[in-house]
Structure 1
Amino acid sequence: MFTISHRVEIKTDPKSVYRALSSADGISGWWSRTEGEFEAGGEIAVHFDASVVTLQVLQQNPTKIVWQCLQVEPEWEDTQILFEWEEQDGRTLVHFRHEMWAEETPLFERCSAEWAGYLLSLKDLLETGQGRPYPDNARINSSQGGS
């Protein structure tokens, strides 16, 4: 199995990170328009132009969130997205993993780059009040595979 892994240091408190990762308004501010039930066992839908990513919330607490990918690109199905964070010297260090990919494909590589961009969008949202959610995020060239 393969894993995308990133981390980002954000000048904010852990409670603000939790709010940005556990609500429709929060996720819509850094990733894409989102709706659903933001509690363990709930499902959330993240909307893009022609597709919807459906995620089940497996775990949600003040320092960790885990989502199971249900309906999305076939390569994403049954993968898990994890966010863990901790306060360090007045900042919050966010550890991100997108786990359980069956193989390292062009889509895996593109998603790794796009996740890095979305984590910087999360950082911008929390530090400046303005993220860069889809479709305003930096796009990876579509000739590299995927949609």
Structure 2
Amino acid sequence: MKKLDFTTTIVVDQTPKEAFEAINNVRGWWSGEIEGLTGKVGDEFTYRYKDLHYSKQRLAELIPGKRVVWQVIESSINFVQDKNEWMDTKIIFDIAVKDDKTQIRFTHEGLIPQQECFEACSNAWTGYITDSLRNFISASRTKDQDFKAVFLVDQTPQEAFDAINNVRGWWSENIEGSTDKPGSEFKYHYEDVHRCEIRIIVLIPARKVVWLVMDNYFKFVEDQSEWKNTMIIFDIAKKDGQTEVRFTHQGLVPQFECYNVCNDAWTYFVRTSLRSLIATGKGGPTRKDEKETRSLSV
């Protein structure tokens, strides 16, 4: 019979990258009594609650924006007969995009109902994950920090939707791959300055488009994770007889080194180029292999 490992799931508005970073800040949501390092594979840290529970974890797997795995290498639970019930178990955080939100699935692999500690430990984990971790992730950033651009056009929501999916028509003619099917992926590059890989995760005709940035490289920044696992969202709606397009790059925040350049670039490509493509049928994308003169390309 399959073991019934304890598991619970939460959904947050923040990006996979932000969820990943919050999970690794273990002192921020589990306990201030954590001792040791919690940031890279091979790091070890201890948790202690009074004289009732002690455990030592080793970071076994870290996939930015996707997965965190701890291996319990020492444990002593003093309120049960078998004090080693946590030994050699794994604590797993699986992170994934769900619509335009982020889902974190927590599993304590090896924590099963047959164990004496199960009720107390599952109740504790439920509180730490569904309340403490969820609140910690949500407090890591306010939505108001995300880059946004909004404009109105006279065309229909469907016409706006179709233009958004014609990415070569308003962002760059150097796009490689399909840009109008759910689950498809495409690549963008600008000279040797910027390249990224994007997956289309939501397509709702005349209403919504969501992209997930799978990989990214900037030549001009130190932190190469700045765009990775962020989401690019287009919300389309009728407003007073016109169509409103609301663009959000969720996770592109002022703290990023790339922010000023990306702010200027998205402002042009969204408010000028995309708007023109919707309104007139002609946008202003980066032309194929052209040497861009304005310092706007993202």
Q: Shorter-chain TM-score category?
A: 0.7 to 0.9
Per the alignment, do residues 101 and 125 of structure 1 end up closer, same or farther by CA in structure 2, a change over 3 Å counting? closer
Give the match for residue 73 of structure 2. 70
**Letter of the 2:36 counterpart:** G
Q: CA deviation at 1:106?
A: 3.7
Which stretches in structure 1 are left out of the alignment for 5+ residues?
Answer: 130-147
Query: Does the 8 A contact of 1:12 with 1:90 survive in 2?
Result: no
CA distance in 2, matches of 1:7, 1:102: 17
Residue 99 (str. 1) matches residue 101 (str. 2):
no
**Letter of the 1:80 counterpart:** K
Give the match for residue 177 of structure 2. none
Query: Does the 8 A contact of 2:5 with 2:112 survive in 1?
Result: no
Which stretches in structure 2 are left out of the alignment for 5+ residues?
Answer: 78-83, 141-298
1:78-97 matched pairs, under 5 angstroms: 78-97=88-107
TM-score by length of 1: 0.76
Query: Does the 8 A contact of 1:2 with 1:104 survive in 2?
Result: no
Give the match for residue 44 of structure 1. 45
CA distance in 2, matches of 1:5, 1:101: 9
**Could you report, residue by residue, the CA deviation over 1:105-137 in whole angstroms, capped at 9, with x for unpaired residues?**
3411221121111112111112235xxxxxxxx
Q: CA deviation at 1:103?
A: 5.8
* RMSD (Å), alpha carbons: 1.8
CA distance in 1, matches of 2:123, 2:113: 16
Give the match for residue 4 of structure 1. 6
Per the alignment, do residues 57 and 89 of structure 1 end up closer, same or farther by CA in structure 2, a change over 3 Å counting? same
List structure 1 runs of 4+ shifted beyond 4 angstroms.
none
Higher Cα radius of gyration: 2
CA distance in 2, matches of 1:6, 1:100: 14
More helix by share: 1
CA distance in 2, matches of 1:100, 1:127: 29
SS of 1:75's partner is: coil
CA distance in 2, matches of 1:100, 1:128: 31
Q: CA deviation at 1:102?
A: 6.7
Percent sequence identity over aligned pairs: 28
SS of 2:26's partner is: helix
Give the match for residue 250 of structure 2. none
Aligned residues: 126
**Letter of the 1:53 counterpart:** S
CA distance in 2, matches of 1:92, 1:102: 26
Query: Does the 8 A contact of 2:42 with 2:58 survive in 1?
Result: yes
Query: Does the 8 A contact of 2:112 with 2:118 survive in 1?
Result: no
SS of 1:76's partner is: coil
